[in-house]
Amino acid sequence: MRRRSEPHTFEQRLDAQRLRLENELTGLPDGEERNSVLARLDQLQTAAEMYGFLMLREEAAVLR
């Protein structure tokens, strides 16, 4: 039977994706593909900020 890996948190997956895209970005020349990767990095940053904001609200709701 195949062994399952440990589940990763949303934050870990975002960070792994960010590192992968930053690594990919280093080898790309200026152009459409590079702009696309930069847009994805911006989306990941926004997702991380939104997640952080929502977790703070959830923690505040639990403390009430």
Number of structural domains, the chain?
Answer: 1
Consecutive H or E run containing 34: helix 32-63
Mean of pLDDT values over 23-46: 96
Assess if residue 27 is contained within a domain.
no
Whether the per-residue pLDDT at 6 is higher than 80: the answer is: no
Range of 50's domain?
10-19+32-63
Assess if residue 15 is contained within a domain.
yes
Assess if residue 5 is contained within a domain.
no
Whether the per-residue pLDDT at 1 is higher than 80: the answer is: no
Please report the sign of the dihedral spanned by the C-alpha atoms of residue 40, residue 41, residue 42, residue 47: positive
